[in-house]
Amino acid sequence: MGLIKTVTEKPWERKGVIGGMVPEGTFAVAAERVALTFFLVIATVIFSLFMVSYYLRMELPDWEPLSEPAQLWFNTGLLIASSVLFQWSRNIVVRGDTRNLYTSFFGAGVLAILFIVAQMVTWNHLQAGGFYLSSNPAVAFYYLLTGVHALHLIGGLWVWSKCAIRLTAGGEPEEVRLSIQLCTIYWHFLLLVWIVLFAILANT
């Protein structure tokens, strides 16, 4: 059912129950998944607007490029590992399996926490090196962009922790399957955002 076809239908001509049990135009997925999709679009808009602002601000004469600390490569590795583990736990619950679920699921969360800690350590290094928020717009953007990204990850960790509580309280993997599936998508999204951010920061 294409969009054009949907909006060109003549509703005054068709009578009766259209589409049986499911009204036409409904996506055959869980409502949470639709909500997540919208949220990912919103987050994309937020990050895009920050990046557009970054590029526009960069053109002004007082911009002094910041050479990003090499530690960021290590941090990136942590986030990639976290995403991989999340994918692993997702595959396990989708199969209906439980073996290695704890390892992969908790590993993913711990690595994400480590990533945030590592980002903060990087902030401290920058501060120690005399790069403050107010010293230059490039530095300010570095703190701002990494901060907003970390905040999004913390939001994800909140859902992860709710899921973790349910698992440790003896909940069946079945109950948390949707949460884990959606978290995995969100984790991959944040990894992608981070890679784009890192690429932009490192190349300018």
Q: Pick from 67, 124, 134, 203: which binds other proteins (CB under 8 A)?
A: 134
Measured from the CB of residue 43, what is the shortest distance to other proteins in angstroms?
8
The verdict on 175 binding other proteins (CB under 8 A) reads no
The verdict on 165 binding other proteins (CB under 8 A) reads no
Q: Pick from 40, 57, 88, 121: which binds other proteins (CB under 8 A)?
A: 57
Closer to other proteins at the Cβ: 16 or 130? 16
Q: Pick from 25, 65, 77, 171: which binds other proteins (CB under 8 A)?
A: 25
The verdict on 166 binding other proteins (CB under 8 A) reads no
Q: How wide is the angle at C-alpha 19 spanned by C-alphas 13 and 20, nearest 5°?
A: 120
Q: Pick from 39, 88, 102, 106: which binds other proteins (CB under 8 A)?
A: 39
The verdict on 70 binding other proteins (CB under 8 A) reads no
Closer to other proteins at the Cβ: 46 or 199? 46
Q: Pick from 144, 157, 159, 200: which binds other proteins (CB under 8 A)?
A: 144
Report how far residue 160's alpha carbon sits from residue 166's, in angstroms, rounded to the nearest whole number: 10
Given phi > 0 = left and psi -120 to 50 = alpha, else beta, which region is 4? alpha
The verdict on 53 binding other proteins (CB under 8 A) reads yes
**Nearest alpha carbon to residue 59 among 138, 171, 163:** 138
Report how far residue 180's alpha carbon sits from residue 107's, in angstroms, rounded to the nearest whole number: 13
